[in-house]
């Protein structure tokens, strides 16, 4: 297998990649990444520029997974806090990525790495955690609790609650509630 020299050059006002012996503009990174992968080379293409998230494929680690930088991890922490504060709201990957200024692929990969859950599952977990507290400390009807934590229907709330806790909301209240 031929050895490819890969380097990133930051020229005044321009970001370029050296692939082999040819200087390539930065927008060719996806093509270069595909060529490298076709040759069995999984190399991280790093660049020294403040341009944010030019191409998520350019940030692949040696294992082929998204490489997260320290600033990305701080933004993942911000996303976790946002989900926990806004558990009752609908949170899409796109809206959350705008909120924390991180691309959707990096956001999803980072959440999974940090929490062990996808965005959707972590959001469910946050809702059920609050619902458990409400069931333990109040005698509010289950329908009221379901809506308070963001579920549109009582039945969906019950289904998700049982999937996460292995008991229905009523069983949980009977065992742990007031």
User: What kind and span of H or E run contains 9?
Assistant: strand 6-11
* Of 14 and 145, the one with more pLDDT: 145
Give the mean pLDDT of 111-126. Answer: 95
pTM of the model: 0.63
What are the pLDDT digits (tens) for 119-146?
A: 999 999 999 999 999 999 999 999 999 9
Among 15-29, 55-69, 120-134, 135-149, the range scoring the smallest mean pLDDT is 15-29
Helix axes 104-115, 70-85, angle to 10 degrees: 80
Give the mean pLDDT of 157-172. Answer: 97
User: What kind and span of H or E run contains 82?
Assistant: helix 70-85
* Chain CA centroid to CA 64, Å: 17
* The CATH fold of domain 121-176: Arc Repressor Mutant, subunit A (1.10.10)
């Amino acid at each position: 297998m031929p050895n490819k020299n890969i380097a990133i050059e930051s020229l005044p006002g321009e970001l370029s990649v050296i692939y082999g012996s040819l200087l390539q503009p930065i927008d060719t990174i996806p093509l270069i990444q595909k060529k490298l992968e076709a040759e069995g080379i999984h190399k991280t293409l790093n660049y020294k520029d403040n341009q944010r998230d030019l191409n998520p494929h350019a940030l692949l680690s040696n294992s082929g997974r998204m490489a997260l930088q320290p600033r990305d991890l701080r933004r993942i922490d911000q996303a976790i806090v946002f989900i926990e504060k806004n558990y009752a709201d609908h949170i899409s990957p796109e809206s959350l990525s705008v909120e924390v200024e991180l691309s959707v692929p990096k956001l999803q990969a980072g959440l999974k790495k940090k929490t062990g859950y996808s965005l959707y599952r972590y959001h469910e977990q946050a809702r059920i955690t609050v619902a458990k507290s409400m069931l333990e400390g109040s005698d509010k009807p289950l329908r009221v609790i379901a809506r308070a934590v963001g579920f549109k229907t009582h039945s969906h709330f019950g289904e998700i609650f049982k999937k996460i806790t292995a008991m229905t909301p009523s069983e949980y209240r009977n065992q742990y509630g007031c």
